[in-house]
Structure 1
Amino acid sequence: MIKLKPTYIVERVTDINLNDLKADNIKGMIFDLDNTLMHPKTSYLPEDIEKWLDLVKNDFKIAILSNNPYTKYVKEAGERVGCVAYERAGKPRRKAAIRALKDLDLLPGEVVIIGDRPLTDIWVGQRLGMVTILVDPLLKHEEVWIIRYLRKLERIFIAKASKTFTQLEEK
């Protein structure tokens, strides 16, 4: 059975409570790139996310796992964020995520995967036994129609699978 229900849902990555994750023995974070950390197909990293990532790197190992096929774009994003970045990840396939776990030297239960797509980011995390966090896409209105349609279907599927979501709350 496909597991698309995320462990947590937050609006933006900056809403994630880092103390809660540390208390749950999370030692690493794997991020989707486009529409999670950066605006899609641009090199724009919002300032609040950039500052938040600086805090994250104090306590967590991090990596970027992107389905984006453009090596230069993804690698430059990784350099800007200050972490290893994998392009052409093929999510929800597990191969690239397993490679990221090995490179981070962490077990799946010690890592949270964060992304904006249940059918890719959340599903691969669920398949590997990671904590999963679904975020709202940074730029919903600029997506092609098929992606907007798929997002609606994903949300309906998740809502039917679970009437309520556990929220990460700021303390």
Structure 2
Amino acid sequence: MLRPPAVPLRPPAPRASVLPPPRAANPNTDPTTTTTTTTADAAATMGAAAWWRRALGQRFNPAGVAAVAAVAASEPRLALPHVSVQDIRWLDWAELRRAGFRGVVFDKDNTLTAPYAPALWPPLAAAFDQCRAIFPPGALAIYSNSAGLKEYDPDGIDARAIEAAIEGVHVIRHDIKKPGGAAKEIESYFGCSASNLVLVGDRYFTDVVYGNRNGFLTVLTEPLKFADESYIVRRVRKLEAYIISYWDKKGHKPIKHSLLPDARRIVKFDPYDDSITSRV
């Protein structure tokens, strides 16, 4: 797989603590103050509990585990992407448009952004601008297991933050984690079948399985940043890679897509690799 030239990365912005403020050691005994303090403490405790449920839920995905078992038992090719690239800089958006695709659906964490960050990963900015220029307004969306998922983002606060940070992208609100569920929310937003859309993500057993089950053209990217991922997610990635490698050795191939039988058409050469350029 081709790799980009080294790009200096911006240091991550400081993140506010997600834990509630500590409780006062000696609250005032005035009844009004006591009531106010107790109410604030209760709200803070509920907020912390909600955060932990969300964090644990994002790290352990029962639907993803079930998908591994189901795919392993029935159809391994559902976990195989149509094409794998380093990141979105390797994709030829114009070729995708010429092939008849009407929009692009991105996973968020480690596909477009660092884990849990709202802003676009800086080295991807030019490639994302190219994508936004080639597809019509409203044709780029994020479908994430964090932002926009009603279980963890019921009020759409995270979704709106991302839409404000990444111009031209819409975060689709939905009820069920990938790889579970159909593509009804996505198809409703785009006004077309999922078979006319591209799904880009960094996980075999969530993004790719979900995309292949619903008829998308599936593109797998490598994760942008491991540092902020949990230990569990890193271990699951290794397990996924081992299983995919095993299936590849067994001769399993990706599902053919009707709009793009040869997905290699959409992969660019590395413009910085003189050895490749000289052979073209």
Q: CA deviation at 1:35?
A: 0.8
Q: CA deviation at 1:55?
A: 1.8
Q: Identify the match of residue 134 of structure 1 among 190, 200, 220.
A: 220
Q: Which amino acid aligns with 1:10?
A: V
Q: Which amino acid aligns with 1:92?
A: P
Do structure 1's residue 62 and structure 2's residue 133 form an aligned pair?
no
Inter-partner Cα distance in structure 2 for 1:67 and 1:158? 22
More strand by proportion, 1 or 2? 1
SS of structure 1 residue aligned to 2:243: helix
Do structure 1's residue 38 and structure 2's residue 113 form an aligned pair?
yes
If you compute each CA radius of gyration, which structure gives the higher value, 1 or 2?
A: 2
Inter-partner Cα distance in structure 1 for 2:158 and 2:102? 26
Q: What TM-score do the two structures reach when normalised by structure 1? A: 0.87
Q: Is the 8 A contact 2:201 2:220 kept in 1?
A: yes
Q: Deviations over 1:121-144 (max 9, x none)?
A: 111101101110010111123311
Do structure 1's residue 49 and structure 2's residue 118 form an aligned pair?
no
Q: Identify the match of residue 164 of structure 2 among 79, 83, 89.
A: 79
Percent of counterpart pairs with the same letter? 26
- 142-151 vs 159-168, greater mean Cα deviation: 159-168
Inter-partner Cα distance in structure 2 for 1:139 and 1:118? 17
Q: Identify the match of residue 145 of structure 1 among 227, 231, 235.
A: 231
- Structure 2: 5+ residue stretches without partners: 1-69, 72-77, 147-151, 255-262, 270-280
Q: Give the alignment of 1:10-29 within 5 angstroms.
A: 10-29=85-104
Q: CA deviation at 1:46?
A: 2.2
Q: Which amino acid aligns with 1:7?
A: H
Q: Which amino acid aligns with 2:143?
A: L
Q: What TM-score do the two structures reach when normalised by structure 2? A: 0.55
Counterpart for residue 92 of structure 1:
179
Do structure 1's residue 169 and structure 2's residue 247 form an aligned pair?
no
Inter-partner Cα distance in structure 1 for 2:208 and 2:88? 14
Q: CA deviation at 1:63?
A: 0.7
Q: CA RMSD of the aligned region, Å?
A: 2.2
Inter-partner Cα distance in structure 1 for 2:181 and 2:129? 27
SS of structure 1 residue aligned to 2:171: strand
Q: Which amino acid aligns with 2:161?
A: E
- Structure 1: 5+ residue stretches without partners: none
Inter-partner Cα distance in structure 1 for 2:165 and 2:126? 12
Q: Deviations over 1:5-35 (max 9, x none)?
A: 0001011112112133123221211000111
SS of structure 2 residue aligned to 1:141: coil
Q: Is the 8 A contact 2:119 2:162 kept in 1?
A: no
The size of the alignment, in residue pairs, is: 170
Inter-partner Cα distance in structure 1 for 2:181 and 2:88? 23
